Amino acid sequence: MTQPTPSKDSPTLYALSKKIKQWGIELGFSDVGITHADLSEYEAGHFNWVGENYHGNMHYMTKHGVKRTRPNELEPGTQSIISVRLNYFDSDAESAVSQLQTPGKAYISRYALNKDYHKLMRKRLQQLANKIAEQVEGFSYRAFSDSAPVLERPIAQQAGLGFIGKNSLIIHPRAGSWFFLGELYCNLALPADEPFQKQGCGPCTACINECPTQAILPGNKIDARRCISYLTIEYHDIIEDELKAKMGNRIYGCDDCQLVCPWNKFTTDTQEDAFKNKSDLDKTELLTLLKWNEKTFLKKLEGSPIRRIGFVVWQRNLCTALGNHPFQTDILTALQNLDTDSLVVQNHRDWAINQQIEKESQLNNHPNPKIARGGSAPEASLSYPFTVSNKPAIAPKYYECKKR
């Protein structure tokens, strides 16, 4: 990046920073913050996390060296970072809790029910950059939205957009955590906003307790190798049987740690039409999705972030979810009739078939099983760990976004 050469008519950098935030809100962003390019406070933590192999097989976490933690290494000349957030929760969609607690439904993470956010965020950031360029000659920048080696959550915290919660997500006390993040690395020495200093989780451990696979670690870290979002999206191999059995009906991502977070009672509904539900993915049956062939998968999910996992992983995840379903004759039949050349899908299909057969046998022996709240009883494999409708398995309660 070259250094900017403001014209005589350009506003001061302080006034410009206020304008940038105003323009960002006018463009539809939920919030805009500005920080400097020094992320040294977070560098050791990032490399310690990688050193423990908590990133699993996400090799892109290591291939760029220090570019992720040193913005100037990624984009030379970066002096400031403009951080933005954009709400995505659509309260008009089928209830996330209802979907999660209905075993025959396919649970898909709320962010993926609609259009892929990457293009929309980058286009919006480009529009913001264009407005800045009109004011400052020589303005140079680079836009990101979960698309490059960027420490987006530490950046957001430094820019005052929230604190990093125990579930590792950015949480704002007045907005919760159901939002996307984006960044503009730029060559302007803009005044930095006050970072979020207070860790707002306090003694609450709802997300830690509710995580189905116990993937949340001390120090606001995640062991991705156990995280259902990682397993259903990033990991394309055979999942361990122990983890298969904990995945429930979650076929793309997982929102449990957000659904039980008390701060999400302050989440506001998305105003983005692109994030408003226009598909049936919020209420689709697992067996319906299993009937899709690859051509249908590609057609139905055109423009969706789900498409990038590919058909093999899609089928793998569906088989896992059906294996976790209480015994049902048509499920067992569908699994037995599923023909695939993929060794990965074959493994999950066969596991699911065995699960259904075992549950049928247990059901015959225990026609009225008592299921423990946390699913710890021997008969718990006959059902899900949810024993009370609209109540979490472990945490005190859910906090769904309410339409305002």
- On whether both 174 and 215 belong to a single domain, the answer is no
- Choose among 15, 181, 149: nearest CA to 23: 15
- Choose among 293, 212, 314, 380: nearest CA to 322: 314
- On whether both 310 and 354 belong to a single domain, the answer is yes
- How far is residue 270's CA from residue 277's CA, in Å, rounded to a whole number? 11
Work out the percent of the chain whose per-residue pLDDT is above 90: 84
- On whether both 130 and 213 belong to a single domain, the answer is no
In the beta sheet, which residues pair with residue 87?
179
pLDDT of res. 279: 83
Count of domains for the chain: 2
pLDDT of res. 2: 62
Residue pointed to by tokens 């020495």: 189
Q: Degrees (nearest 5) of the Cα angle 232, 238, 240?
A: 90
pLDDT per residue as tens digits for the range 200-252: 999 999 999 999 999 999 999 999 999 999 999 999 999 999 999 999 999 99
pLDDT of res. 384: 57
pLDDT per residue as tens digits for the range 289-338: 999 999 999 999 999 999 999 999 999 999 999 999 999 999 999 999 99
In a domain, 389, yes or no: no
pLDDT per residue as tens digits for the range 388-398: 889 999 999 99
- How far is residue 374's CA from residue 261's CA, in Å, rounded to a whole number? 18
pLDDT of res. 37: 97
Give the pairing type, strands 179-186 and 141-144.
antiparallel
182-200 burial string, b = 16+ CB within 10 Å, else e?
bbbbbbbebebbebbeeeb
pLDDT of res. 369: 53
- How far is residue 169's CA from residue 149's CA, in Å, rounded to a whole number? 17
Q: Which residue range(s) make up the domain with 219? A: 206-382
Q: How confident is the model at residue 377 (pLDDT cuts 50, 70, 90)?
A: very low
- CA-to-CA separations, 258 to 97, 157, 206, in angstroms, rounded: 11, 18, 9
- On whether both 371 and 237 belong to a single domain, the answer is yes
DSSP-derived letter for residue 400 is P
- On whether both 173 and 242 belong to a single domain, the answer is no
- Among 129, 154, 186, give the residue marking a domain's end: 186
3-state secondary structure of 17: helix
Q: State the angle between helix axes of 117-135 and 13-26 in degrees (0 to 180), rounded to the nearest 10.
A: 140
Q: Decide if pLDDT at 164 tops 90.
A: yes
Residues 364/369/372/373 CA torsion (nearest 10 deg) = 100
In a domain, 54, yes or no: yes
- On whether both 157 and 263 belong to a single domain, the answer is no
pLDDT of res. 403: 66
pLDDT of res. 8: 39
- On whether both 276 and 310 belong to a single domain, the answer is yes
In a domain, 237, yes or no: yes
Residue pair 140/355 in contact by the 8 Å Cβ criterion: no
- On whether both 218 and 156 belong to a single domain, the answer is no
Which residues have C-beta within 8 Å of that of residue 40, sequence separation ≥ 6? 69
pLDDT of res. 365: 85
Which residues have C-beta within 8 Å of that of residue 4, sequence separation ≥ 6? 136, 137, 138, 139, 140, 187, 188
- On whether both 37 and 119 belong to a single domain, the answer is yes
pLDDT per residue as tens digits for the range 263-274: 999 998 999 999
In a domain, 226, yes or no: yes
In a domain, 139, yes or no: yes
Average pLDDT over residues 191-200: 92
- On whether both 218 and 163 belong to a single domain, the answer is no
pLDDT per residue as tens digits for the range 27-85: 999 999 999 999 999 999 999 999 999 999 999 998 899 999 999 999 999 999 999 99
Residue pointed to by tokens 């189905």: 212
Q: Degrees (nearest 5) of the Cα angle 136, 141, 143?
A: 130
pLDDT of res. 27: 97
- Among 124, 157, 186, give the residue marking a domain's end: 186
Give the pairing type, strands 31-36 and 221-222.
unpaired
State the sign of the Cα–Cα–Cα–Cα dihedral 190, 194, 197, 201: negative
- On whether both 238 and 273 belong to a single domain, the answer is yes
Q: Name the residues annotated as catalytic.
A: 146
In a domain, 6, yes or no: no
Please give the single-letter amino acid code of residue 285: E
- On whether both 248 and 179 belong to a single domain, the answer is no
- How far is residue 262's CA from residue 203's CA, in Å, rounded to a whole number? 12
pLDDT of res. 197: 87
In a domain, 264, yes or no: yes
Residue pair 187/79 in contact by the 8 Å Cβ criterion: yes
Predicted TM-score (pTM) of this structure: 0.92
Q: How confident is the model at residue 174 (pLDDT cuts 50, 70, 90)?
A: very high
pLDDT per residue as tens digits for the range 10-32: 458 999 999 999 999 999 999 99
In a domain, 363, yes or no: yes
Q: Decide if pLDDT at 5 tops 70.
A: no
The 3-class SS string of 160-204 reads: CCCEECCCCCEEECCCECCEEEEEEEECCCCCCCCCCCCCCCCCC
Helix, strand, coil shares of the chain as percentages rounded to 5? 40, 10, 50
